[in-house]
Amino acid sequence: MKKSIKLVTCLFLLLSLTIHAQQNSQHIQQCDAVTLNRNIQLDGSSDTEEIKIEVASNAKKLHIGINSTIKSGYLTVEVYDPKGNKKGNFSIESQVKSSSKKKELVCGQMQKHIDEPIKGDWVIKLIPNNVAGDISICTSMM
């Protein structure tokens, strides 16, 4: 009798774990969005950087959010599609001289929403000129 109870209990637990695993598997397959965040720190840099965002053929929407805060220098940010077409840009500049006793933080932001994005590598180009500051890039695909 004790063996039967243990066997039924084990079968019940195994069945519940199997059902739970199937539900989790279905949930993973139904994922609606993928988000990626990058934070980049620049310390007086003037080196151009290219950040690639790989967009799959099944992506229906692409969202790119770029936030930048600089203490000094001049920064240009550009967004290109896989064909090399510019899809957006902005520039920010610190205007307070570094030798001054004043400090300045300049913030710039760009939000880009693209329906039916082209498959391939989208490029975010960072073009700094003596920039000290932080850049945050958030991408989301649905």
SS (H, E, C) the chain: CHHHHHHHHHHHHHHHHHHHHHHHHHHHHCCCCEEEEEEEEEEEECCCEEEEEEECCCCCEEEEEEEEEEEEEEEEEEEECCCCCEEEEEEEECCCCCCCCCCCCEEEEEEEEEECCCCEEEEEEEEEEEEEEEEEEEEEEC
Q: What is the pLDDT of residues 54-68, one digit of tens each?
A: 999 889 999 999 999
What does the domain layout of the chain look like in residue ranges? 1-31, 34-141
Of the ranges 10-19, 40-49, 73-82, which one carries the lowest mean pLDDT score? 10-19
pLDDT at 32: 74
pLDDT at 10: 44
Q: What is the pTM of this model?
A: 0.75
CATH fold of 34-141: Jelly Rolls (2.60.120)
Q: What is the pLDDT of residues 36-50, one digit of tens each?
A: 999 999 999 899 999
